[in-house]
Amino acid sequence: MRNKVSICGIDTGTLPKLTNTESKQILSQLKGGDNTNRDYFITANLRLVLSVVHRFSKQDKASMDDLFQVGCVGLIKAINNFDLSLNVRFSTYAVPMIAGEVRRFLREGSLRVSRSIRDVAYQALQARERLQANCVGEVTVDQIASELDMPASRVAYCLDAVSPPVSLCEQAFASEEDTFTLLDQLADNKVSEANWVDNVALRQAIQGLTQREQDVISKRYFQGKTQMEISSEIGVSQAQVSRIEKGALSQIRSIFN
């Protein structure tokens, strides 16, 4: 008796199976412009999508059907981008591509912003354009709020709600010698020396640093200060603090490698 798993109206027990040789043959046809077996190849690889979806469905309450459809998009992207010169099976390449598409959906697509918030944000953006036309300099949230006769806090909240998420590793600004990320500008009050000194090997590694390197590492990771705060305290530029920090961390890592 065959196992039957039905998702999005598809009985996976009826899906065709391809050998590695057959996969290569069909992929070669597709890359050559012959799309005769394209739909067949997609159908034969739907099990890859299902295996990825099952893994994520246990971690998220998003609709199984939604995840499956998003996974199919990832599968199609994998087919379009697969390089035959790669010495790997198609499934080895496709699974990370499918998983990446699902992760992107869960991170971005599953964030639902209410209609009322989107409406306010749209009005705020329009108001900012009107004010900008007659204003020298950047239009403030307070000015937009006054224009809409709304509390500034609500305007700011609605604008933030429709703004795309930003990675902490994204570049904030750059000097001639160094690049600084958003993470470099943040302080973390939860960081404490207790998290470090419990590890004897790490403590010894830190003791092997110069006094200035120890000072920067202590302020940055034990006290949770930003690079800009440290630069003011020790009297050097933030670029210098960044170089000292990176050099110290590189030396610490080399001890554990």
Q: Is residue 195 very low, low, confident or very high in pLDDT (cuts 50, 70, 90)?
A: very low
**This prediction's pTM:** 0.42
User: CA-to-CA distance for 137 and 145, rounded, in angstroms?
Assistant: 17
Determine contact, residues 107/165, Cβ cutoff 8 Å. yes
Average pLDDT over residues 103-110: 70
pLDDT of 124: 86
User: CA-to-CA distance for 172 and 33, rounded, in angstroms?
Assistant: 44
Does residue 72 lie within any of the structural domains? Answer: yes
Do 185 and 154 belong to one domain?
no
Q: Is residue 193 very low, low, confident or very high in pLDDT (cuts 50, 70, 90)?
A: very low
Q: The CATH number of the domain where 182 resides is what?
A: 1.10.10.10
Q: What is the count of structural domains for the chain? A: 3
Residue-wise pLDDT for 7-19, tens only, equals 556 666 778 888 8
Does residue 252 lie within any of the structural domains? Answer: yes
Q: The CATH number of the domain where 55 resides is what?
A: 1.20.120.1810
Does residue 147 lie within any of the structural domains? Answer: yes
Do 194 and 131 belong to one domain?
no
Does residue 166 lie within any of the structural domains? Answer: no
The residue ranking higher by pLDDT, 41 or 62, is 41
The residue ranking higher by pLDDT, 208 or 34, is 34
Q: What is the dihedral of CA 196, 201, 206, 210, to 10 degrees?
A: 170
Residue 224, SS3? Answer: coil
Domain that residue 59 falls in: 6-109
Six token digits for residue 192: 């404490």
Do 99 and 182 belong to one domain?
no
Do 93 and 184 belong to one domain?
no
Do 105 and 11 belong to one domain?
yes
Shortest CA distance to 227 belongs to which of 175, 166, 154? 175
Do 13 and 31 belong to one domain?
yes
Do 100 and 136 belong to one domain?
no
Burial track 103-123 (b if 16+ CB lie within 10 A, e otherwise): eebbeeeeeeeeeebeebbeb
pLDDT of 41: 92
Do 95 and 132 belong to one domain?
no
Enumerate the β-bridge partners of residue 7.
10
pLDDT of 198: 44
Q: 235: left (phi > 0), else alpha (psi -120 to 50), else beta?
A: left
Q: Is residue 167 very low, low, confident or very high in pLDDT (cuts 50, 70, 90)?
A: low
The residue ranking higher by pLDDT, 228 or 26, is 26
Do 150 and 128 belong to one domain?
yes
Mean pLDDT of the chain: 76
Average pLDDT over residues 79-107: 84
Shortest CA distance to 208 belongs to which of 235, 238, 257, 247? 247
Q: The CATH number of the domain where 137 resides is what?
A: 1.10.10
Do 48 and 80 belong to one domain?
yes
pLDDT of 132: 79
Residues of the chain above pLDDT 70, percent: 71
Does residue 251 lie within any of the structural domains? Answer: yes
Parallel, antiparallel, or unpaired: how do β-strands 171-174 and 179-181 relate?
antiparallel
